[in-house]
Structure 1
């Protein structure tokens, strides 16, 4: 989910570029957005440098995605088809981190040096098109096709307007920690992750968790990344809604 922050960076840059600033309030809001963008630019620059140093293999495989210029911002909004909603979902995740990473590198052509891009193997196709996948698995299926669409040329990030419901936004904001502003700052959740990390240290050959990192202030890096990505989509959507020139005629 580290990749989501680059999508947010693209969302913020597009928002700053198109922000209406014909009155003092809009201008002040845009100034705040610019400040946030500058902080994000600096943070991501440091994060990429640290990733390159600490995990060079991951950096090499996902380097094409580690820049805001890769992520295309939708210029028009669509709506989803309610008839495609799953009547029910699986009770467990159908996601495998190693396979998902491999499928993405096959799309990007980073599976080896100067590798051929746009490769879709049967295991990748079966996993990424499997029906009924819940939560985390579904988000990675969406990410896979978003990346494929941008190389081969998840919801609101792909330009679907009906994913930006006001009550959903309110729910996201209620989940935000009042003290530090992050997401997933839950003691029971933190205890579970710490326990998993200890178990992984004691049994190094046992893989018990994803690339989840608990930040120094106790926040969930994964949940924060997902929430921030969603908020970036809301920002871009609401700016579009305020621009009457981008609204449909009927």
Structure 2
């Protein structure tokens, strides 16, 4: 697993100093994280390996050829941020898993892919969802796009959305995930917000939104890595659900069931997988940036 990262070192001799420092830091962190995952490969769940909430029906997502690296970058739009946001999650874990397996065609052996039920479409296009609901709405559209499901929005009856595309939804979701990350950063990463903060960077970065590769955010992520084990999330108990600090006042606290496996050394399987994947995104972005700086002016 470490070989691709080692080979990258030989391609970085002409990078600008500031970019070189960033890339060196990311590579060092990646080596530690990948080494940890290699040592714990028999103990971690699929969630930790891939960096997403994946069930044993999700084999296609394990194929590296499924995921595409952004070729063109864009940024989020603050004007798309929801005026109001639900105080509790609007995402049902079992329904979300079912909707994604319908897209993948893994809902049964040799199942037909790209199936979109009305319930799935309505759930995954619902506006105002917070936290993990929001990130899984984005993941649903990313899976559909990468799996070639071109008619995901067919059957949309709401007149205000008849012309909306997958790209429109991705921009809306990532604009709100950006707002969420900005709030988490401003509030000092209270409670268990580290996990969703990194997950948002991973997904929206993979969707091509370059403003998620914030250097200040990267510095914090690097500090959250255990210097000895190379894992993430050692000091948090993710079985408790989302922190009460990020539930609106006067609203009941509803926990979100997360598939997590805390390893014997206290490391978080999910957070380590997500963090390593997000760091890979940072590496790809800054490598592509140094390529741009070497292009001749026209």
| TM-score, normalization by structure 2 | 0.60
How far residue 35 of structure 1 moved from its aligned partner, in angstroms, is 6.2
1:52-131 equivalent positions in 2, closer than 5 A: 58-59=55-56, 61-131=57-127
How far residue 33 of structure 1 moved from its aligned partner, in angstroms, is 9.2
Moved more, 172-181 or 138-147: 172-181
Secondary structure in 1 matching 2:147: helix
Q: How many residues align?
A: 218
Q: Which of these residues, 216, 220, 233, is aligned with residue 184 of structure 1? A: 233
Deviations 1:149-179 (A, max 9, x none): 1001621111111111112212222333344
1:143-162 equivalent positions in 2, closer than 5 A: 143-152=139-148, 154-162=203-211
Paired residue for 2:279? 231
Residue 33 to residue 15, structure 1, CA distance change in 2 (3 Å): farther
| TM-score, normalization by structure 1 | 0.70
Paired residue for 1:240? 288
Q: Distance in 2 between matches of 1:15 and 1:146?
A: 29
Residue 47 to residue 62, structure 1, CA distance change in 2 (3 Å): farther
Paired residue for 2:128? 132
How far residue 15 of structure 1 moved from its aligned partner, in angstroms, is 9.7
Q: Distance in 2 between matches of 1:245 and 1:13?
A: 23
Deviations 1:188-209 (A, max 9, x none): x26858xxxxxxxxxxxxx983
How far residue 76 of structure 1 moved from its aligned partner, in angstroms, is 1.9
Query: Are the aligned partners of 1:16 and 1:34 in contact in 2 as well (CA < 8 Å)?
Result: no
Higher RCO (CA 8 Å, separation ≥ 6 residues): 2
Q: Distance in 1 between matches of 2:96 and 2:81?
A: 23
Query: Are the aligned partners of 2:232 and 2:271 in contact in 1 as well (CA < 8 Å)?
Result: yes
Deviations 1:65-121 (A, max 9, x none): 112121111122112222112234221111211111101110011111211110111
Q: Distance in 1 between matches of 2:146 and 2:273?
A: 21
- Unpaired runs of 5+ in structure 1? 1-8, 52-57, 194-206
Q: Distance in 2 between matches of 1:22 and 1:210?
A: 42
Query: Are the aligned partners of 2:234 and 2:266 in contact in 1 as well (CA < 8 Å)?
Result: yes
In the alignment, structure 1 residue 221 sits paired with structure 2 residue 233: no
Residue 100 to residue 118, structure 1, CA distance change in 2 (3 Å): same
1:200-215 equivalent positions in 2, closer than 5 A: 209-215=257-263
Paired residue for 2:49? none
How far residue 214 of structure 1 moved from its aligned partner, in angstroms, is 0.6
How far residue 235 of structure 1 moved from its aligned partner, in angstroms, is 1.1
Q: Distance in 2 between matches of 1:42 and 1:180?
A: 12
List structure 1 runs of 4+ shifted beyond 3 angstroms. 12-19, 21-26, 28-48, 190-193, 245-250
Moved more, 139-148 or 151-160: 151-160
